[in-house]
């Protein structure tokens, strides 16, 4: 295969270092020369990589090249007698090759993971293996089809090309991808880096029953969070790796790691002595062994995807008949936190398999704002690559690696997730006036949307309404039949953004309020996602809190529904006043929920909840005013997502998150984005209907709305204290 998705930044400092500019005292002169050369260098640069697996997949062969124009430039300059620029051109090409090597790493690891392989060792001709290796790599990768040549002396043309061979292992958790310069005979190499650092990670599979050891090389200066992301272990990082949330944690078992200022903010001296560190700030300086610490799938166990088959089947078919079936379809919801996919037989509408996994983009931040910022920092292509890979892994699971042929795929996702999937610029999404690059529906094919390796089938993506009213809301409105009914309904999707819509077939208004991640357990001191052991229900019995956890397991943290119920019950217990202030002594030490006092609610947690619930409730009240109705005029309150299915409506209304009128009219609607994709697949003109629906939804901007501002301040409170 041919790979060209490189983003090369030519560092003047690195180029000058290769020609010993600082030692020669010519650094400033060389940088000035190089500055003049850069436009021409960028024009000449044509980076490409060619990859292929050898016989019986014993190795992955890789050839990288900067292209003939840049490769030949140095020789041309020498012929012209411009020796200084010739040396700079030569060093510049080397810098590009080494950057390509680093940028190709995730693609190499991805290809190996898809085959269930690890990387046991990296070979380089001629330092680690005979030059004949270059001939085999040339034939295995098919590089000759794209204009490359190999001489009788086994050298490549263009000259500025490199060959690497990755020996594969059946141990899928090995990632020894880096060249060991300490054992290399080429001691004059200007890019020599010594022996690579080895990281060993001890972790538990989700559920905590089995241990897993992962080990491999760490690029010097790169955090463990980034490294594990490359290895396909996307740990949650709600703050986007900035070291401000304190949620990602490791314990050092062997080796040393510097203590950072961020570490000191979250750990006591005793904990630091015991080896606790933040994953996102931890940068190994030498070999080390660590274990992942924390409460589960929301960040710290290695997450494994889940897949169930034959969900909702009607009738019976043999496995052989199922495999011969053709023309299946896939419905997809790309959420900020999770990915959900279902395999559908379009002829019958039945669901034949379901797949859920964590969105691997979580390591770039818990919410869309963090991911927009990450895209602006140059990580957009990485986020596109990892969500594409997650979709391909879901397809592999649903189709038993291609046994069932896919005819089409329909995707519902918020505007930011669509931008990241399609590779659209995100810069205008996060700044006023919040203009998306493109919110129209996408009618493409799998190669365009998912990448080159996927078998060809049609892909449709729901249209959005605005930067923060996305295709997932369009899909939800479509699934719930807003375009068909006279009854007035409200759709509320509670997440990091609280999206909501009100209306019927005559008119629909929608709004989005920045709620923050509190409803998903984010920015809560002991918060977690909806994992086994997460506290999801709370009741005050007059003496203490009675807890209900997911799966009935020991308390591991508190999720979104848990924090809502906790606030309601703390008000009943007199622990929390109407302004959201914790009574003494809990205002200082936090209020304990479990018997051990390990899981506590702190004052700042209550403030996070207040901000979130005030934004949602103020948005709802503002929409009702704009529509010209009151809450009692609404026929149904549809609460989207798994969150809505578990939400105690009475307690949600009790803390002011929802109107009192919603209690008897609440309809837990489940994943409405996925349901919309399924309906699209079952209906002949689903795409046309969805496009029309998105076209007549009107957004009510909230940021400068005086009603919203008034309601926001009002609903920061928890109501009046009872006399």
Report the run of H or E that residue 421 belongs to, with start and end: helix 415-422
Which of 63-72, 238-247, 692-701 has the weakest average pLDDT?
A: 238-247
Q: Residue 77: name the closest of 46, 37, 43 by CA.
A: 37
pLDDT at 323: 39
Q: How far apart are CA 638 and CA 528, in angstroms?
A: 25
- The 10s digit of each residue's pLDDT in 484-496 is 999 999 999 987 7
What is the arithmetic mean of pLDDT over 585-602? 89
Contact 224, 300 (CB under 8 A): no
Interior angle at CA 711, CA 493 and CA 583, nearest 5: 90
Residues 142, 150 contacting (CB under 8 angstroms) = no
Q: What is the pLDDT of residues 130-182, one digit of tens each?
A: 888 899 999 999 999 999 999 988 999 999 999 999 999 998 889 998 877 66
Which residues have CB under 8 Å from 98's CB, separation 6+? 191
236 or 678, greater pLDDT: 678
The whole-number average pLDDT for the span 173-197 is 71
Q: Could you give the domains of the chain? A: 1-191 (3.40.109.40), 196-304 (3.10.20.30), 307-312+326-461 (3.30.420.480), 478-723 (no CATH)
**Preceding amide of 385 cis, omega within 30:** no
Mean model confidence pLDDT for the chain: 85
**Three-state SS letters, 672-715:** HHHHHHHHHHHCCCHHHHHHHHHHHEEECCCCCCHHHHHHHHHC
Residue 24 has pLDDT above 50, yes or no: yes
CA dist., res. 698 & res. 391, Å (int) = 31
The C-alpha atoms of residue 569 and residue 553 are separated, in whole angstroms, by: 21
Residue 282 structure tokens? 């931890």
Provide the 3-class DSSP secondary structure of residue 235.
Answer: coil
Within a 13 Å sphere around the CA of 23, how many CA atoms are in the beta-carbon half? 4
Backbone phi, psi, residue 694, to 5°: -60, -35
Fill in the DSSP letter of residue 463.
-
Distances 262 to 250, 258, 502, 605 between C-alpha atoms, Å = 14, 11, 43, 20
Contacts of 608 (CB under 8 A, 6+ apart): 516, 518, 523, 524
Q: What percent of the chain has pLDDT over 90?
A: 50
Rounded to 5°, angle at Cα 37 from 36 and 39: 90
Does the pLDDT of residue 311 top 60, yes or no? Answer: no
Q: What does each C-alpha distance from 41 to 67, 71, 103 come to in angstroms?
A: 11, 10, 19
Q: Residue range 450-465: average pLDDT?
A: 86
* CA gap 216, 196 in Å, rounded: 9
Question: Which residue did the predictor score with more confidence, 701 or 313?
Answer: 701
Q: Which residue has the higher pLDDT, 186 or 177?
A: 177
Q: Which two tokens stand for residue 516?
A: 């923050």
User: Given this model, what pLDDT does residue 402 score?
Assistant: 67
Tokens of residue 251, six digits: 């314990």
Burial class (CB in 10 A: 0-12, 13-18, 19+), 317: middle
pLDDT level of residue 325 (50, 70, 90 thresholds): very low
Contact between residue 476 and residue 492 where contact means Cβ atoms under 8 Å apart: no
**Can you give the pLDDT at residue 318?**
44
Q: Is the peptide bond before 158 cis (omega within 30 degrees of 0)?
A: yes
Q: Are the CB atoms for 342 and 354 separated by under 8 Å? A: yes
Q: Which of 235-239, 257-261, 397-401, 550-554 has the highest mean pLDDT?
A: 257-261
pLDDT of residue 181: 66
pLDDT in tens, 498-541: 899 999 999 999 999 988 778 877 778 888 777 778 899 999 99
Mark out the alpha helices in 216-300 (DSSP H runs).
224-230, 261-266, 269-273
The CA-to-CA distance between both ends of the chain, in Å, stands at 74
222: confidence class by pLDDT, cuts 50, 70, 90: confident
Least trusted range by pLDDT, from 308-322, 402-416, 451-465: 308-322
**Residue 337 structure tokens:** 């936190």
Backbone angles phi, psi at 190, to 5 degrees: -75, -10
How many angstroms separate the CA atoms of 521 and 527, rounded? 4
Q: Could you read off the pLDDT of 70-89 as tens digits, one per residue?
A: 999 999 999 999 988 999 99
Task: Please state, in angstroms and rounded to a whole number, the distance separating the CA atoms of residues 530 and 549.
Answer: 10
Burial of 151 per CB tally in 10 Å (0-12, 13-18, 19+): exposed
CA quadruple 151, 154, 155, 161: dihedral sign: positive
Residue 249, sorted as left (phi over 0), alpha (psi -120 to 50) or beta, turns out to be: beta
User: Which among 374, 378, 394 is positioned nearest to 334, based on CA atoms?
Assistant: 394
Specify the DSSP class assigned to residue 294.
S
Q: Are 515 and 495 spatial neighbours (Cβ–Cβ below 8 Å)?
A: yes
Which residues does 543 contact at the CB level (< 8 Å), separation at least 6?
Answer: none
Is 599 strand, coil or helix?
Answer: coil
pLDDT at 113: 82
Model confidence at 695, in pLDDT bands (50, 70, 90)? Answer: very high
Please list, in sequence order, all residues whose beta carbon lies within 8 angstroms of the beta carbon of residue 569, skipping any fewer than 6 positions away.
Answer: 538, 539, 540, 545, 651
Mean pLDDT (whole number) for 458-481: 95
- The edge-to-edge listing of strands for the beta sheet with 350-358 is 306-309, 350-358, 338-345, 328-334, 406-413, 458-461, 442-445
Widest pairwise Cα distance in the chain: 95
Q: How confident is the model at residue 301 (pLDDT cuts 50, 70, 90)?
A: very low
| pTM score above 0.85 | no
pLDDT band at 654 (very low <50, low <70, confident <90, very high): very high
Containing 573, the helix (H) or strand (E) segment is helix 560-573
Using pLDDT thresholds of 50, 70 and 90, give the confidence band for residue 305: very low
Residue-wise pLDDT tens digits, 340-374: 999 999 888 889 999 988 888 888 887 888 899 99
Choose from 374-378, 619-623, 717-721 the range with maximum mean pLDDT. 619-623
Beta strand ranges found along 453-605 (DSSP E) = 458-461, 489-493, 497-503, 508-514, 534-540, 545-549, 557-558, 591-592, 600-601
- CA 180 to chain CA centroid, Å, is 31
Of 358, 357, 343, the closest CA to residue 312 belongs to 343
pLDDT of 242 > 70? The answer is yes
Q: Is the pLDDT of residue 320 over 70?
A: no
Counting runs of H as helices and runs of E as strands, what totals does the chain give? 24, 31
pLDDT tier at 308 (50, 70, 90 boundaries)? very low
pLDDT band at residue 219, thresholds of 50, 70 and 90? confident
Give the 3-state DSSP-derived string for 106-118, with helices as H, strands as E and coil as C. HHHHHHHHHCCCE
- What backbone phi and psi angles, to 5 degrees, belong to 332? -135, 140
Residue range 633-659: mean pLDDT, rounded: 88
């Amino acid at each position: 295969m041919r790979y060209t998705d490189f983003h090369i930044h030519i560092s003047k400092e690195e180029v000058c270092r290769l020609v010993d500019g600082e030692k020669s005292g010519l650094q400033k002169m060389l940088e000035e020369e190089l500055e003049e050369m850069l436009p021409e260098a960028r024009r000449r640069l044509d980076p490409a990589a060619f990859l292929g697996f050898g016989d019986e997949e014993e190795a992955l062969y890789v050839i990288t090249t900067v292209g003939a124009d840049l490769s030949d430039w140095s020789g041309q300059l020498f012929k012209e007698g411009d020796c200084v620029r010739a040396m700079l051109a030569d060093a510049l090409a080397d810098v590009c090759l080494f950057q390509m090597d680093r940028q190709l790493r995730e693609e190499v690891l991805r290809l190996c993971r898809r085959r269930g392989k690890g990387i046991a060792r990296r070979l380089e001709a001629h330092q680690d293996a005979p030059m004949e290796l270059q001939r085999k790599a040339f034939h295995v990768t098919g590089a000759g089809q794209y204009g490359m040549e190999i001489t009788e002396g086994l050298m490549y043309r263009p000259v500025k090309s490199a060959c690497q061979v990755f020996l594969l292992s059946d141990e899928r958790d090995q990632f020894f991808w880096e060249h060991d310069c300490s054992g290399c005979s080429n001691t004059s190499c200007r890019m020599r880096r010594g022996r690579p650092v080895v990281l060993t990670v001890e972790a538990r599979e989700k559920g905590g029953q089995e241990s897993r050891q992962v080990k491999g090389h760490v690029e010097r200066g790169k955090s463990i969070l980034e490294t594990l992301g490359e290895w396909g272990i996307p740990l949650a990082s709600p703050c986007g790796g900035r070291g401000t949330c304190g949620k990602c944690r490791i314990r050092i078992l062997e080796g040393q790691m510097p203590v950072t200022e961020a570490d000191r903010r979250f750990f006591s001296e005793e904990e630091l002595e015991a080896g606790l560190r933040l994953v996102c700030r931890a940068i190994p300086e030498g070999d080390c062994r660590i274990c992942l610490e924390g409460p589960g799938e929301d960040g710290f166990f290695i997450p494994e995807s889940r897949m169930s088959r034959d969900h909702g089947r009607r009738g019976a078919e043999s496995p052989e008949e199922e495999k011969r079936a053709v023309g299946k379809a896939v419905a997809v919801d790309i959420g900020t936190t999770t990915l959900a996919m279902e395999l559908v037989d379009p002829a019958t509408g039945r669901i034949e398999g379901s797949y859920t996994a964590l969105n691997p983009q979580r390591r770039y931040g818990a919410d869309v704002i963090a991911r927009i910022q990450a895209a602006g920092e140059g990580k957009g292509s990485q986020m596109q690559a990892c969500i594409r890979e997650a979709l391909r892994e879901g397809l592999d699971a649903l189709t038993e690696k291609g046994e069932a042929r896919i005819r089409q795929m329909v995707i519902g996702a918020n505007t930011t997730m669509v931008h990241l999937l399609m590779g659209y610029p995100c810069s205008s999404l996060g700044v006023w006036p919040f203009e998306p690059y493109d919110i129209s529906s996408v009618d493409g094919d799998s190669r365009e949307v998912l990448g080159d390796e996927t078998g060809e089938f049609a892909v449709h993506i729901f249209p959005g309404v605005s930067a923060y009213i996305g295709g997932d809301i369009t899909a939800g409105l479509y699934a719930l039949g807003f375009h068909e009914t006279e009854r007035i309904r409200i759709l509320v999707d509670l997440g990091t953004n609280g999206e909501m819509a009100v209306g019927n077939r005559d008119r629909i208004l929608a709004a989005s309020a920045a709620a923050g991640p509190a409803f998903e357990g984010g920015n809560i001191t002991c918060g977690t996602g909806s994992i086994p052991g997460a506290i999801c229900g709370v009741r005050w019995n007059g003496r203490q809190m009675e807890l209900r956890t997911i799966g009935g397991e020991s308390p591991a943290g508190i999720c979104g529904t848990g924090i809502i119920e906790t606030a309601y019950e703390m008000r009943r217990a007199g622990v929390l006043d109407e302004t959201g202030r914790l009574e003494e002594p809990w205002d200082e030490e936090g209020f304990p929920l479990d018997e051990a006092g390990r899981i506590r609610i702190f004052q700042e947690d209550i403030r996070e909840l207040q901000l979130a619930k005030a934004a949602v409730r103020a948005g709802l009240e503002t929409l009702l005013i704009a529509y010209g109705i009151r809450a009692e005029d609404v026929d149904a309150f549809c609460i989207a997502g798994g969150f809505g299915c578990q939400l105690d409506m009475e307690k949600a209304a009790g803390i002011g998150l929802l109107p009192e009128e919603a209690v008897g009219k609440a309809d837990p609607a489940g994943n409405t984005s996925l349901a919309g994709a399924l309906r699209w697949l079952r209906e002949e003109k689903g795409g046309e209907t969805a496009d029309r629906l998105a076209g007549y939804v009107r957004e009510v901007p909230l940021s400068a709305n005086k009603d919203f501002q008034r309601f926001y301040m009002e609903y920061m409170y928890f109501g009046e204290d009872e006399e």
